Structure 1
Amino acid sequence: MGRNNLLGKWVAGPRGRWITLLVWLLAAGLLSALLPSENGQEDNGAANLSASKPSVQAAAVAYEEFEGGADLPALLVWHRGSGLTDSDLRNIQELSAALTASPVPHQTGVPPLQQLPLESLKAQLSKDGTTLVTAVLFDPKADADGLKKGVDQLRKQTGERFGQDPFAAGADASDGLSARVTGPVGIRIDATGLFQNADFTLLMATVLIVLILLLLIYRSPILAFIPLVAVGIAYGVAGPILGWMAGEGWIVVDSQSISIMTVLLFGAGTDYCLFLIARFRQLLKKEQSRSAALRAALSGSSGAIAMSGFTVVLALFSLLLAQYGAYRRFAVPFAIAILVMAAASLTLVPALLAVIGRASFWPFVPRTPAERAERAARQGKPAPAPGKERRGWIGSLVVRRPWTIVLVSVLVLGALAAASTQIRFTYDLLSSFPKDMSSREGFELIGDKFSPGELAPAKVMVDSQGKDVSKLADDLRSQDYVSQVGEPAKGRIHSDIVSLDVQFAMNPYSAEAMDRIPDLRRAAEDALSQAGVKDAAEHVWIGGQTAEQYDNKTTGDRDTRVVIPVVIGLIALLLLLYLRSITATVYLVLTVILSYFSALGLGWLVVHYALGADAIQGAIPLYSFVFLVALGEDYNIFMISSIWRKSRRMPLRQAIQEGVGETGSVITSAGLILAGTFAVLASMPIQVLVQFGIITAIGVLLDTFVVRPFLVPAITALLGRRAFWPGKVREPSGDRANG
């Protein structure tokens, strides 16, 4: 308590408030001026898989042994509804010749279509003669921005060659020539572009939703801007720090993490601000001195704010244990942003409130009874009657019917959680794109006019060790999930290494194709074993987009098994240290876990039945878990802190009733704002963000309106003094907390 009073005296004091405000403004200004911004340090081509993963090892073998073996193909899908003309095909050949003579940025190769007779090129058309797929190969080490620069130059050359830009033509044009870029290059460019374009939109939408909700809840324009100003200044401090760390090579930031970090910072940051603001407003109705009220508010809420922030920071840092690159890239930027925001909530926000004072709540300024009476006297009005202490009906219901509350809550949440067992997952990024994206339109044309497996064939490579493996192609071709096997090619350095391009009989980005990677590997190993190659498993490599996707899944599954127990353990340890109660720690953690699975189940019902999605992105459960468990525990910490504090001077049941009532409005406000900020993601044209936003927003609302006001206090009421075990609480005589 002494330390909190010291902090309050400093940041809310006559001079300290101005110094605190000046320090934050100088920090944001100087850091922004001297250090690079995080947006300028984006690396959207960072690898998600380590060099030890099978698909990465296969890519290394392909790069070393086969010309263009590891290059990224940009598939150009040419289409004319009435049929491609000879003139179209000659233009395509001339474009191939131009790209051979003058490659675009990061281009590594292009098939010499100009050397083919026109009739040979016609043989590659779709059966109805409307569609042709050609390829341009790019450097696999190029990032998305570099690939986009190359493709943009390709489009420019195409427009000059054709006299029009077929990439701008509608894909469903009945007679005009259209072109689309798909395949690994097109997908990567479109994915990065969607996230980059989302940055500003997300920022503006998040600020707007927070501002509107604050105005509706508190009806004070000044108060509505205080959290936004604090978050903005905190962002001005955190952003350059992250940009500097990225510039030094200590961390990697990408457009996806920056987009979601913006939402998290405004949502969680506003919550922390409201914890203090709500307490300050309560005390202003009892304390005439605004400085004393602010110091008391900071003393009463700083522990919960610090604990909440620290919980989220540790949960986010646990992502450093993940092997999947996208998970690891979230850890440091998010944790630092929350750490800076928590510090701003404990210093900058009190300083702003100290400067503005009671006017922060204008036009509904909270006043003491004496101030209201004096104000009425000056206006010649009768003194207002003393306000009655409001007793929340939820708190009363919880202490009167705890068993009913617990049973109903558990049944409802349990039923929703059961729906999570029906979830189907996908690792197909293409399916999350809007239907009018170039890469998705091109893929659908390929699937309609050709075999969808042509989009991304798997590259099967084996080391024959000098044995005859001529039957390998036939063995692979005999598999029911394979539609076509290309001609074998020998390694340029080691001639014993043989490569075969294998096309799947289904969408190569689908879960069905991904699950066939182990089968494909076994088929190749069996063929090697039959040829007399010993230790066949060590001499098979499978590369390509489907194999990479399979490694993404297995790595993500491993990370889920590791990270989730660590997050639960860290949060449990922090709760134990803060509350000094094993019992409370156990049921607080269990209720948040139940809430998480309920959110996952209800989110699936919404995404699947309301939005028509067949599956959700495979990375969403882990992301949602880290955010929901860490953020959901914030509300429990804030409420249980109030109950613990009150239980020292009143019967436990009364403490529960008043604690629920005291924290109810602020937690409801905070929950609505946090859910609203995550719901902003649902307005984005990217399904992975839509699904993540919906599930996380649902989880926050369940915590806000079910777990925090009903389930947790009801369990506390049922346990009575045992809720403090092994700690002890001095209860006034007459308490019947154990009921």
Structure 2
Amino acid sequence: MMNGLKRIADAVSGKRGRWITLVLWIVIVGLANAFLPSSSDHKDDAAANLVSSAPSVQADALNEHNGIPAIIAWHRDAGLTDEDLGQIQALSKKLADQPLPQQTELPPLHEMPLPALKAMVSEDGTTFLQTVVFDKNASSDDLKISLEQLQADANGIFPSKPFDAALSEKGLVGRITGPAGIGVDATSLFKDADVSLLIATTLLVLVILLFIYRSPILALIPLVAVGFAYGLTGPILGWMADEGWITYDSQGLSIMTVLLFGAGTDYCLFLIARFRSVLTEESNKKQALLKALGDSGGAITMSGLTVVMSLLALLLAEYGAIHRFAVPFSLSILIIMIASLTLVPALLAILGRASFYPFVPRTPEMQAARAARKNKPLPVPKSKPAFGIRLGEAIVKRPKTIAISTLIVLGITAAFSTQIKFTYDTLSSFPKDMPSREGFTLIGEHFSEGSLAKVQVLVKTDGKNLPLDQKLGELANISSVSEPAANTKDSSIVSYNIELAMNPYSIEALDMIPVIRSAAEQSLSDAGITDAADKVWIAGATAEQYDTRHETTNDAYRIIPVIIGMIALLLLLYLRSFVAMLYLMGTVLLSYFSALGIGWLVVHYLFGAEAIQGLIPLYAFVFLVALGEDYNIFMVSSIWKKSKTMPLNRAIVEGVAQTGGVITSAGIILAGTFAVLATLPIQVLVQFGTVTAIGVLLDTFIVRSFLVPALTVWIGKGVFWPSKQRSASVKEVEL
């Protein structure tokens, strides 16, 4: 690998090679954007998350009423008037005469007498629910067009604009909720996030780089590299999606943007920092670049491959939202890694020392010559050791104390991760003023939360009459059970609609699914029907969320061991040390659980969330374990190289000093980019960004700065096992 990196470095840093490299990147990105489709044109926000074998999906296939319902909640604080109900009927007639795009079903409210309509109003007389059902294959964009047309039709009938009115107003208010309204709102949130994320992340990285390095040119180099990588990743994704090879959604593209800027800037800084250091020793900029790439290229490659392989493991997921992350994330990291090893060296070769203007690094001889030309005295070297040296020496003197104390701190914070409460409620991830969430609130306050999404039980009775409605009605947390209805698709199947006495998206509601299934199967068995387990199906949003929890839990059990195994194998191949692999993996895993614990404290007590989204632990694991090892790999690889020519303790001191500044800078930038997600009005991204940013900061300031070097000193020469001590010819000395 090192020989390959040397050849690459020599090719991209030559007088002609650097310009050829830059031109090639420009041409490739330009052609890709000119001839390949855009990624935004092929994202699929309506892609299925559950596999076809999921029980709720199988139940939905049997369900004759399996469209996507939109529930319109009409509300007036002072009570709905006859005029309001008449206008609702007028809207129903218009929708019946001129159906909306994708509209499949419409309860005939316009054909009902006014007294019958009044009987459907809430007990307090303030709220009425109207349903419109759309085709189950309609995309979120299709549904958005339909709902916008619905609102336009309503504005032509009602004297006011009820969908624009605030809930606090005294007039008539309309809110669209239900699966259709929730789906459209979810898509709009992520669509609005794309541009804002790109702008916010770019500005944040630029400001942090300017603050840390105080060089405008240097600050732009990583952004240029990330820009090229972003410009190439998008068209490739669009092409792959257009060919039908992959599927991705708006959420994946949003997080991919953050990942590109965060991880991409890190890889660029690993090389740039080493190049700046070598320029203080080497006057020839090409030789300095060759040495810098030789020193850091292996760590960049290893770090990039670690992240790419970890993200590709998401292909093992059955749950669609997780599976769809794999290709966009891994491809973006692969491309930015290649850019860091080719485009960034070419830019540095073109700009040379000017990259760091106005703080240009020079060798002592160059400084002396410059001072002589200006008739100025040479700057007096600082007598006080640099902070990195002092930190490294402190760690070497007290490794056990530092290691034990950091392990205790991380262990205590990790213990809080056991207190986390999870939710799979899509609505809880929305801002409180989103229309679908406000509509759900109206339903919960004036009807019952369970009426928003009823559970449907389908059973094959073999022609027997069963008292299943009575059996189900006796269960706790059930508000009502409908009379059995025949299924037109299969006359041997009857269905029951169950209204839960709770939020149908809550964990408590999800736990009712196996209870309902068990009761239904028992009723069939009691009636002498064989194979009862194969003759009961449960459909509805609650059943879908139950299957979501089941699939994502299984995905976590399947993916996490694979990621751990792959990273461990890559570490073994790179470091050739079983001991180092064990404690490097152990520290990152401990840091991950600590991030979950602290993240829960922040999200729960500071942000006021009662639970975090169930997908957060797996999302955070993939990023924190893979990206956390980046910093360990970069620092340990420096220690390993230095240990060839000096005592191990001294190698640790200098390794910490050499890599400390760049890892700190990289960690701040990476944490900052993930923290940008916390500014969005989407709770799942807020929680993910918060936990991941905390984890990156822990890896940067605790694990890398203290724990890993302290453990390395404490273990001593055993860290190389089973390889031989690399500096065996050098006697270890006390510092």
Q: Same fold (TM over 0.5)?
A: yes
Q: Which residue of 2 aligns with 1:607?
A: 603
1:413 and 2:410 matched: yes
Cα deviation, residue 160, structure 1: 0.8
Residues 257, 329 of structure 1: 8 Å contact kept:
yes
Match of 1:168 among 154, 160, 164: 164
Cα deviation code 1:158-216 (max 9, x no counterpart): 1111133211111121x211100001111111111100000000111100110010001
1:232 and 2:227 matched: yes
Structure 2: distance between partners of 1:3 and 1:505:
65
Q: Which residue of 2 aligns with 1:695?
A: 691
Cα deviation, residue 384, structure 1: 2.6
- Aligned-partner SS, 1:161: coil
Q: Which residue of 2 aligns with 1:664?
A: 660
Q: Which residue of 1 aligns with 2:11?
A: 10
Q: Which residue of 2 aligns with 1:581?
A: 577
Q: Which residue of 2 aligns with 1:303?
A: 298
Q: Which residue of 2 aligns with 1:520?
A: 516
Letter in 1 for 2:576: R
Q: Which residue of 2 aligns with 1:261?
A: 256
Residues 717, 737 of structure 1: 8 Å contact kept:
no
TM-score, with length taken from structure 2: 0.98
Residues 646, 730 of structure 2: 8 Å contact kept:
no
Structure 1: distance between partners of 2:69 and 2:5:
60
Residues 712, 719 of structure 2: 8 Å contact kept:
yes
Letter in 1 for 2:33: S
1:217 and 2:209 matched: no
1:135 and 2:136 matched: no
Residues 721, 738 of structure 1: 8 Å contact kept:
no
Match of 1:321 among 316, 320, 331: 316
Structure 2: distance between partners of 1:387 and 1:407:
33
Structure 2: distance between partners of 1:122 and 1:353:
75
Residues 718, 738 of structure 1: 8 Å contact kept:
no
Structure 2: distance between partners of 1:118 and 1:214:
67
Structure 2: distance between partners of 1:534 and 1:297:
73
Cα deviation, residue 386, structure 1: 4.5
Match of 2:243 among 244, 248, 268: 248
Cα deviation, residue 738, structure 1: 10
Residues 91, 153 of structure 2: 8 Å contact kept:
yes
Q: Which moved more, 1:725-734 or 1:686-695?
A: 725-734
Q: Which residue of 2 aligns with 1:76?
A: 72
Distance 1:125 1:466, change over 3 A: same
Q: Which residue of 2 aligns with 1:30?
A: 31
* 1:599-638 equivalence runs, <5 A: 599-638=595-634
Cα deviation code 1:309-353 (max 9, x no counterpart): 000000000001111001100001100000000000000000011
Q: Where does the alignment leave 5 or more consecutive residues of structure 1 unmatched? A: none
Q: Which residue of 1 aligns with 2:193?
A: 198
Q: Which residue of 2 aligns with 1:55?
A: 56
Letter in 2 for 1:34: F
Structure 2: distance between partners of 1:295 and 1:394:
29
Letter in 2 for 1:478: E
Residues 106, 132 of structure 2: 8 Å contact kept:
yes
Letter in 2 for 1:285: T
Residues 62, 489 of structure 2: 8 Å contact kept:
no
Q: Which residue of 2 aligns with 1:333?
A: 328
1:151 and 2:153 matched: no
Letter in 1 for 2:154: T
Match of 1:462 among 459, 463, 468: 459
Structure 1: distance between partners of 2:60 and 2:563:
34
- Aligned-partner SS, 2:496: strand
Structure 1: distance between partners of 2:350 and 2:317:
44
Structure 1: distance between partners of 2:733 and 2:408:
24
1:549 and 2:550 matched: no
1:182 and 2:183 matched: no
Cα deviation, residue 734, structure 1: 6.4
Q: Which residue of 2 aligns with 1:591?
A: 587
Structure 2: distance between partners of 1:479 and 1:145:
40
Match of 2:361 among 366, 370, 374: 366
Cα deviation, residue 532, structure 1: 2.0
Structure 1: distance between partners of 2:734 and 2:479:
69
Q: Which residue of 2 aligns with 1:446?
A: 443
Cα deviation, residue 491, structure 1: 1.3
Residues 652, 735 of structure 1: 8 Å contact kept:
no
Letter in 1 for 2:494: V
Residues 373, 384 of structure 1: 8 Å contact kept:
no
Structure 2: distance between partners of 1:731 and 1:42:
54
Structure 2: distance between partners of 1:350 and 1:730:
30
Letter in 2 for 1:557: T
Residues 645, 730 of structure 2: 8 Å contact kept:
no
Distance 1:130 1:165, change over 3 A: same
Structure 2: distance between partners of 1:731 and 1:150:
72
Structure 1: distance between partners of 2:456 and 2:128:
22
Letter in 2 for 1:118: L
Structure 1: distance between partners of 2:79 and 2:176:
19
Cα deviation, residue 101, structure 1: 1.5
- Aligned-partner SS, 1:538: helix
- Aligned-partner SS, 1:238: helix
Number of positions where the alignment pairs a residue of Structure 1 with one of Structure 2: 732
Residues 454, 498 of structure 2: 8 Å contact kept:
yes
Q: Where does the alignment leave 5 or more consecutive residues of structure 2 unmatched? A: none
Spell out structure 1 runs of 4+ moving beyond 6 A: none
Structure 2: distance between partners of 1:607 and 1:486:
40
